[in-house]
């Protein structure tokens, strides 16, 4: 598992920080929280909440990769170490050590937040939640055989033919389109 904190600036020049976790094996992204002021206690509480949300899946996690930000305190590390997860801080100024989390952040920015004028916290929560749902349920991942993280146990879809009907679902006001075959 990997974690990172990234910022989004609103139209009104307010900066919001988003804490996210991503599972290396399944590429499933989890939004832990959004705040204007990321403090050590806030980040630690979000870590506790994330472990509770993961439930039994947390037992299969062996490592947590994080950067060396001042907001990742010893109490943050101890939350994971108490469950047997080894915390691995990246080397200074080496973002490739946390490449999967950086890739998630880049995808979120390129496909959603950089294309929408975010007006405030509520709007940001809506956009991030909607994108994370798209990312986990529909967006194909090359490393997963072109399947979405939540569809790993389902068989690959059939190849479309000339008479296959396709259904399109718009997300984020038409910014993202999801296509599925109709039976």
pLDDT digits (tens, 9 = 90+) for 73-131: 999 999 999 999 999 999 988 878 999 899 999 999 999 999 999 999 999 999 999 99
- Return phi, psi of residue 6, to 5°: -130, 160
Determine contact, residues 90/66, Cβ cutoff 8 Å.
yes
This prediction has a pTM of 0.83
168 burial (CB, 10 Å; 0-12 / 13-18 / 19+) is: exposed
Domain span including residue 148: 2-182
pLDDT of residue 153: 65
Mean pLDDT computed over 157-176:
76
Euclidean distance between CA atoms 176 and 112, whole angstroms: 8
Euclidean distance between CA atoms 13 and 153, whole angstroms: 43
| Domain count across the chain | 1
Euclidean distance between CA atoms 17 and 33, whole angstroms: 8
pLDDT of residue 181: 74
User: The CATH number of the domain where 142 resides is what?
Assistant: 3.30.420.10
3-state secondary structure 119-183: CCHHHHHHHHHHHHHHHHHCCCEHHHCCECHHHCCCCCCCCCCCCCEEEEEEEHHHCEEEEEEEC
């Amino acid at each position: 598992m990997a974690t990172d904190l990234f910022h989004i600036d609103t139209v009104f020049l307010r900066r919001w920080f988003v804490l996210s976790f991503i599972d290396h094996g399944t590429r499933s992204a989890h939004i832990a929280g959004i705040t204007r002021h990321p403090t050590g206690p806030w980040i630690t509480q979000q870590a506790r909440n994330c472990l509770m949300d993961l439930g039994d899946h947390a037992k299969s996690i062996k490592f947590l990769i994080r950067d060396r930000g001042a907001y990742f305190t010893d109490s943050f590390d101890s939350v994971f170490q108490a469950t047997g997860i080894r915390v691995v801080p990246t080397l200074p100024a080496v973002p490739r050590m946390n490449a999967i989390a950086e890739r998630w952040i880049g995808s979120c920015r390129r496909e959603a937040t950089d294309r929408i004028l975010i007006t405030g916290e509520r709007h940001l929560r809506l956009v991030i939640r909607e994108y994370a749902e798209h990312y986990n349920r529909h967006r194909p991942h090359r490393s997963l055989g072109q399947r979405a993280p939540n569809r790993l146990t389902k068989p690959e879809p059939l190849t479309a033919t000339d008479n296959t009907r396709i259904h399109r679902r718009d997300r984020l006001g038409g910014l993202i389109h999801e296509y599925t075959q109709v039976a």
